[in-house]
A and B are shown apart, each in its own frame.
Chain A
Amino acid sequence: MSEDQRDSRSIQSGRPTVIAPGHTFATVTDKISSIVLTRRTPLFWFVPFLIASGLLMVFLGAVGYLFVRGVGIWGIRVPVMWGWAITNFVWWIGIGHAGTLISAILLLLRQSWRNSINRFAEAMTLFAVACAGMFPVLHLGRPWLFYWLFPYPNTMNIQPQFRSPLVWDVFAVSTYATVSAMFWFVGLIPDLATLRDRARNRWAKATYGILAMGWRGAASHWQKYETASLLLAGLATPLVLSVHTVVSFDFTVAIVPGWHSTIFPPYFVAGAIYSGFAMVMVLAIPLRTMYGLQDLITMRHLDNMAKVMLATGEIVAYSYFFEAFIAWYSGKPFEMYAIWNRMTGPYAPTYWLLIFCNLVFPQLLWLKKFRTNTLWLFITSLDVLLGMWLERYVIIVVSLHRDFLPSSWGMYEPTIWDIATFAGTIGLFLFLFFLFIRSLPMISIFEVRTLLPQAEVTEGVEK
Chain B
Amino acid sequence: MRTPIFGLMAEFENPTALAAAARQVREQGYRKVEAYSPFAIEEVNEALGLHHNRLPLIVLCGGILGGLTGYLMQYYIAVINFPINIGGRPLHSWPSFIIITFELTILFAALATVLGLLGLCGLPMPYHPVFNVPRFALASRDRFFLCIEARDPLFDRHDTAEFLSSLQPREVSEVAH
A residues apposed to B, CB below 8 Å:
24-26, 29-30, 151, 157-163, 167-168, 171-172, 175, 178-179, 182-183, 185-186, 190, 193-194, 196-198, 213-228, 231-232, 235-236, 238-239, 242, 246, 249, 446-447, 449-450, 454-462
Choice from B55, B102, B128 contacting A216 with Cβ under 8 Å: B128
User: Which 8 A-B pairs rank lowest in CB-CB distance, beginning with the nearest?
Assistant: A25-B142, A213-B124, A214-B125, A222-B40, A219-B35, A159-B82, A197-B137, A228-B117
Alpha-carbon separation in the docked complex, A197 to B38 (Å): 12
Whole-angstrom distance between the Cβ of B142 and the nearest chain A Cβ: 4
Alpha-carbon separation in the docked complex, A85 to B98 (Å): 27
Contact, CB under 8 Å: A29 / B142: yes
> B148 in the interface, Cβ–Cβ < 8 Å?
no
Choice from A157, A221, A454 contacting B14 with Cβ under 8 Å: A454
Query: Which residues on A sit within 8 Å (CB–CB) of B141?
Result: 25-26, 29-30, 194, 197-198
Contact, CB under 8 Å: B113 / A235: yes
> B53 in the interface, Cβ–Cβ < 8 Å?
yes
**Contacts A159-B81, A162-B97, A171-B103 hold; do A224 and B39 have CB atoms under 8 A apart?**
no
**Contacts A224-B120, A232-B113 hold; do A29 and B38 have CB atoms under 8 A apart?**
yes
Contact, CB under 8 Å: B48 / A461: no
Choice from B40, B126, B130, B140 contacting A223 with Cβ under 8 Å: B40
Q: Mark B105-146, 1 if CB is under 8 A from A, else 0.
A: 011011101101110110111111011000011111110000
Query: Which residues on A sit within 8 Å (CB–CB) of B138?
Result: 197
Contact, CB under 8 Å: A216 / B36: yes
Contact, CB under 8 Å: A162 / B100: yes
Choice from A172, A190, A214 contacting B103 with Cβ under 8 Å: A172
Contact, CB under 8 Å: A222 / B37: yes
**Contacts A163-B86, A175-B104, A460-B20 hold; do A455 and B39 have CB atoms under 8 A apart?**
yes
Query: Which residues on B sit within 8 Å (CB–CB) of A162?
Result: 74, 77-78, 96-97, 100
Alpha-carbon separation in the docked complex, A460 to B14 (Å): 13
> B171 in the interface, Cβ–Cβ < 8 Å?
no
> B10 in the interface, Cβ–Cβ < 8 Å?
no
Alpha-carbon separation in the docked complex, A239 to B109 (Å): 11
**Contacts A151-B77, A179-B107, A186-B117 hold; do A461 and B139 have CB atoms under 8 A apart?**
no
Choice from A185, A217, A246 contacting B140 with Cβ under 8 Å: A217
CB-CB contacts below 8 Å: B23-40 with A: 23, 34-40
> B50 in the interface, Cβ–Cβ < 8 Å?
yes
A-B contact pairs, 23 of them (CB 8 A): A157-B82, A158-B82, A159-B81, A161-B84, A162-B96, A168-B103, A171-B103, A179-B107, A182-B110, A183-B110, A190-B39, A197-B141, A216-B36, A216-B128, A216-B139, A218-B35, A220-B50, A223-B53, A224-B121, A228-B117, A232-B110, A455-B15, A457-B43
Alpha-carbon separation in the docked complex, A373 to B110 (Å): 39
Contact, CB under 8 Å: A235 / B45: no
Nearest chain A residue, comparing its CB with the CB of B89: A163
Contact, CB under 8 Å: B16 / A460: yes
> B164 in the interface, Cβ–Cβ < 8 Å?
no
Query: Which residues on B sit within 8 Å (CB–CB) of A26?
Result: 141-142
Query: Which residues on A sit within 8 Å (CB–CB) of B111?
Result: 178, 182
Query: Which residues on B sit within 8 Å (CB–CB) of A161?
Result: 84
Contact, CB under 8 Å: B124 / A214: yes
Interface range on chain B (Cβ under 8 Å from partner): 35 or more
Alpha-carbon separation in the docked complex, A221 to B37 (Å): 10
User: Which of the listed residues A160, A235, A447, A450 has the most CB atoms from chain B within 10 Å of its own CB?
Assistant: A235
Nearest chain B residue, comparing its CB with the CB of A164: B96
Alpha-carbon separation in the docked complex, A221 to B116 (Å): 12
Q: Beyond the given A227-B53, A457-B15, could you list 5 further A-B residue pairs with CB under 8 A, ordered by the A residue number?
A: A158-B82, A160-B77, A219-B41, A219-B50, A222-B45
Query: Which residues on B sit within 8 Å (CB–CB) of A29?
Result: 38, 140-142
Query: Which residues on A sit within 8 Å (CB–CB) of B140?
Result: 29, 190, 193-194, 196-198, 217
Alpha-carbon separation in the docked complex, A463 to B36 (Å): 23
Contact, CB under 8 Å: A218 / B40: no
Alpha-carbon separation in the docked complex, A461 to B38 (Å): 19
CB-CB contacts below 8 Å: B150-169 with A: none
Nearest chain B residue, comparing its CB with the CB of A165: B99
User: Which of the listed residues A162, A236, A460 has the most CB atoms from chain B within 10 Å of its own CB?
Assistant: A162
Contact, CB under 8 Å: B39 / A450: yes
Nearest chain A residue, comparing its CB with the CB of B82: A159
User: Which of the listed residues B40, B78, B86, B114 has the most CB atoms from chain A within 10 Å of its own CB?
Assistant: B40
Contact, CB under 8 Å: A217 / B37: yes
**Contacts A25-B142, A190-B140 hold; do A218 and B20 have CB atoms under 8 A apart?**
no
Query: Which residues on A sit within 8 Å (CB–CB) of B47?
Result: 461
Query: Which residues on B sit within 8 Å (CB–CB) of A194?
Result: 38, 140-141
**Contacts A213-B124, A216-B139 hold; do A171 and B100 have CB atoms under 8 A apart?**
yes
Contact, CB under 8 Å: A225 / B40: yes
Choice from B36, B77, B102, B142 contacting A219 with Cβ under 8 Å: B36
Choice from A160, A239, A446, A460 contacting B39 with Cβ under 8 Å: A446
Choice from A157, A178, A447, A457 contacting B41 with Cβ under 8 Å: A457
> B19 in the interface, Cβ–Cβ < 8 Å?
yes
> B44 in the interface, Cβ–Cβ < 8 Å?
yes
Choice from A171, A458, A462 contacting B99 with Cβ under 8 Å: A171
Q: Mark B42-71, 1 if CB is under 8 A from A, else 0.
A: 111101101001011001000000000000
Query: Which residues on B sit within 8 Å (CB–CB) of A196?
Result: 140
Alpha-carbon separation in the docked complex, A185 to B100 (Å): 25
